């Protein structure tokens, strides 16, 4: 498994772990983005090492080619000096450096291809992390909205399900109505007693008269039509 496959698997594992915990979405999402960026930094370091190794192989190719050219120059110099033995030794050395250069060049080409793939994967991973960071605020807002709705539903359920206080109030109101009714009935029964009835009749007799005859006499006295002391006493009402 390559470095980025392991990194993606690790990030996926961490995210799933955070989602399963789901303690505080905002905290979990912020931590997830932080973890991703930390792992991305480590991935960049690995890619940087791969690029450095590629550059090293490139330098080895160039160095061995330079050595090959140098031994070729020496072989030519030996031939010009009539020293064929030295020329042969120089050509043998040249061939060795040619082989080294060819081998390093193969390694360099393979490393260069790997580095290009790593760079592409790194850019892709960076893009995914940036996208996750952009979605974070939306996910946090959705989580807060869901939490608020949950609290509202819980409150509504509590208000509709818990009627203890309201029931107590209604029972007390009913009890007060009953007490008032009982008090009214007691008063009415008391007034029906003989003593109460007799006292009520005498009280009626003692009330000032408001009949028409008395009102007329009062008016005549005020007008001077009827001399004072000449009024007639109103007749007592007939006994019951």
Confidence (pLDDT) at 3: 53
**Per-residue buried b or exposed e for 143-175, using 16+ beta carbons within 10 Å of the residue's own CB:** beeeeeeeeeeeeeeeeeeeeeeeeeeeeeeee
Q: List all residues 6 or more positions away from 144 whose beta carbon is below 8 Å from its beta carbon.
A: 25, 26
Report pLDDT for 209.
Answer: 55
Predicted confidence at residue 30, as pLDDT, reads 83
Any idea where the domains of the chain sit in the sequence? 3-162, 165-223
The whole model's pTM is what? 0.50
Residue with tokens 């850019």: 123
For the chain of 240 residues, list the mean pLDDT of each consecutive stretch of 10: 54 53 71 87 91 95 96 94 93 96 96 92 88 82 78 74 64 78 72 60 62 78 71 50
Sign of the dihedral defined by the CA atoms of residues 187, 189, 194, 198, in that order: positive
- pLDDT of 175 reads 77
State residue 31's pLDDT score: 85
Looking at residue 164, its pLDDT comes to 60
- Is residue 87 within 8 Å of residue 79, measured between CB atoms? yes
């Amino acid at each position: 498994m390559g470095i980025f496959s392991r990194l993606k698997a690790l990030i996926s594992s961490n995210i799933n772990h955070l989602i399963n915990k789901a303690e505080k979405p905002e905290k979990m999402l912020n931590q997830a983005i932080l973890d991703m960026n930390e792992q991305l930094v480590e991935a960049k370091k690995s890619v940087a090492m791969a690029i450095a190794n590629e550059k090293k192989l490139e330098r080895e190719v160039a160095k061995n080619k330079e050595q090959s050219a140098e031994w070729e120059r020496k072989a030519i110099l030996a031939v010009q000096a009539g020293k064929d033995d030295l020329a042969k030794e120089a050509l043998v050395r040249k061939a060795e450096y040619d082989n080294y250069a060819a081998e390093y060049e193969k390694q360099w080409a393979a490393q260069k291809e790997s580095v290009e793939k790593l760079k592409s994967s790194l850019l892709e991973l960076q893009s995914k992390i940036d996208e996750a960071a952009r979605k974070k605020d939306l996910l946090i807002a959705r989580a807060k909205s869901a939490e608020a709705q949950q609290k509202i539903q819980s409150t509504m359920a509590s208000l509709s399900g818990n009627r203890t206080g309201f029931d107590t109030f209604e029972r007390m109101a009913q009890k007060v109505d009953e007490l008032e009714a009982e008090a009214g009935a007691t008063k009415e029964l008391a007034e029906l007693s003989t003593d109460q009835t007799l006292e009520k009749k005498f009280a009626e007799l003692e009330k000032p008269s408001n009949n028409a005859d008395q009102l007329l006499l009062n008016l005549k006295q005020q007008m001077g039509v009827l001399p004072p002391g000449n009024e007639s006493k109103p007749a007592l009402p007939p006994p019951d």
